[in-house]
């Protein structure tokens, strides 16, 4: 087909053909499995209580975020970075929580700018952050909704529950241009505990001070929401009285590491690779660290569950136990999906192993 320089041409050329016709390495999502994951999570939030604010970090694809927004129990999208929020707003997503501190006046001004035609909330844990946001909001003539982050044990960001939150709340109420909308707390230090009973016990224990802080604020006449949780705790945190939104991300595409503790969601994403060398005792594939997030181990090989990974290089993966020949295409389930999506410009969409669409990954490399 010659040189392919644009997405439309690429798709036109490959649409309707079998997935193994894709050039490799390619990031591929099975839309049937993805929609089953979306439906399962949406059903969980069907009741009157907690709702879903899916995390963009897990796929960074605006088309998929819009698919999540169109679900009945989604209230908005969570993201980690200001530049991800900009991509979401550009793509028509207008209710966002940046669940992270954004520091620097220029960045605060970009958040204010987005708030001209979208509700882009942001997390704070300092007077410094509050003052910057307030100043940017006043200069832009907008009002920014802020969430105070509480650290419940992850030791990443956030203030301690109780008085430190009440103190920040007071600073917010005295700062023109911003309003106190909620508390953000993420149980990342215990979200993937293998033992479900232990995970439940720890989550309930560690989130108790957050609920107590919410109650103290209510006693002072301050009504706020609590945003928390993730895929590993959706049916724990999502059932707790006082929790209003959950920030689940991984459930939609899953990965090899998360599947071990959440088998009810399907691995909807794979990386397609080609066997480029066969040295009998070792098969080499054309994808490595530059095409696969490897923080949580090695990938699973879809059709060869007994395959053993012998090495992970920049552009190569070496395996024993794959019965294949040079030129064969192999499907790998990434060990860590979030960092894998961050490595690709686009995600191929397939149905029944036939290529159906090509979705851009706009949030790829959005680190600001
Ligand atoms: C702030 C925040 N919320 C929620 C999540 C949950 O994501 P997941 O559903 O992948 O566990 C994460 C993951 O890192 C996070 O950083």
Say yes or no: CB of residue 150 within 6 Å of ligand 1.
no
For residues 320 and 276, what is the distance between their CA atoms, to the nearest angstrom? 14
Eight-class DSSP state of 154 = -
256: left (phi over 0), alpha (psi -120 to 50) or beta: alpha
Contact 158, 117 (CB under 8 A): no
**Predicted local distance difference test score (pLDDT) of residue 2:** 52
The tokens for 241 are: 């009285």
**Predicted local distance difference test score (pLDDT) of residue 5:** 58
The tokens for 147 are: 């969430």
Please tell me whether residue 284 adopts helix, strand or coil conformation.
strand
Say yes or no: CB of residue 99 within 6 Å of ligand 1.
yes
For residues 196 and 206, what is the distance between their CA atoms, to the nearest angstrom? 15
Percent of the chain with pLDDT over 90: 96
Mean per-residue pLDDT of the chain: 96
CA–centroid distance, 49 to ligand 1, in Å, is: 20
CA–centroid distance, 107 to ligand 1, in Å, is: 22
Contact 359, 347 (CB under 8 A): yes
Say yes or no: CB of residue 250 within 6 Å of ligand 1.
yes
Q: b/e map of 208-238 (b: 16 or more CB within 10 Å)? A: ebbbebbebbeeeeeebbbbbbbbbbbebbb
CA–centroid distance, 151 to ligand 1, in Å, is: 14
CA–centroid distance, 110 to ligand 1, in Å, is: 24
Say yes or no: CB of residue 186 within 6 Å of ligand 1.
yes
State the pTM of this model. 0.96
- Model confidence band, residue 213 (pLDDT cutoffs 50, 70, 90): very high
212: left (phi over 0), alpha (psi -120 to 50) or beta: alpha
**Predicted local distance difference test score (pLDDT) of residue 10:** 82
- Of 9-13, 141-145, 237-241, 359-363, the poorest mean pLDDT is in 9-13
């Amino acid at each position: 087909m010659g040189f392919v320089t644009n997405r439309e041409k690429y798709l036109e050329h490959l649409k309707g053909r079998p997935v193994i016709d894709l050039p490799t390495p390619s990031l591929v999502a099975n839309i049937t499995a993805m929609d089953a994951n979306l439906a399962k999570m949406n059903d969980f939030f069907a009741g009157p209580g907690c709702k879903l604010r899916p995390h963009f970090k897990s796929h960074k694809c605006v088309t998929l975020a819009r698919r999540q927004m169109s679900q009945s129990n989604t209230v908005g999208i969570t993201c980690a970075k200001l530049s991800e929020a900009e991509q979401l707003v550009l793509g028509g997503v207008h209710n966002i929580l940046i669940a992270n501190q954004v520091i620097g006046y220029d960045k605060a001004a970009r958040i204010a700018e987005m708030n001209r035609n979208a509700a882009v909330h942001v997390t704070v844990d300092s007077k410094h952050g509050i003052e910057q946001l307030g100043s940017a909001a006043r200069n832009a003539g907008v009002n920014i909704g802020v969430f105070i982050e509480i650290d419940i044990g992850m030791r990443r960001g956030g203030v301690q529950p109780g008085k430190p939150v009440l103190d920040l709340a007071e600073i917010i109420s005295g700062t023109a241009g911003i309003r106190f909308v909620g508390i953000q707390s993420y149980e990342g230090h215990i979200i993937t505990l293998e033992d479900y009973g232990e995970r439940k016990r720890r989550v309930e224990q560690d989130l108790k001070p957050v609920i107590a802080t919410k109650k103290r604020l209510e006693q002072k006449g301050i009504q706020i929401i609590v945003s928390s949780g993730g895929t590993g705790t959706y049916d724990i945190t999502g059932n707790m009285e006082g929790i209003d939104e959950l920030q689940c991300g991984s459930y939609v595409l899953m990965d090899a590491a998360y599947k071990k503790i959440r088998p009810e969601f399907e691995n909807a994403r794979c990386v397609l690779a080609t066997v480029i060398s066969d040295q009998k005792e070792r098969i080499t594939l054309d994808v490595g660290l530059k095409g696969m997030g490897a923080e949580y181990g090695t990938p699973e090989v879809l059709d060869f569950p007994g395959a053993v990974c012998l090495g992970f290089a920049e552009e190569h993966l070496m395996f024993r136990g794959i019965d294949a020949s040079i030129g064969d295409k192999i499907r790998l389930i990434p060990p860590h999906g979030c960092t894998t999506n961050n490595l690709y410009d686009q995600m191929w969409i397939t149905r029944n192993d036939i290529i159906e669409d090509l979705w851009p990954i706009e949030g790829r490399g959005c680190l600001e």
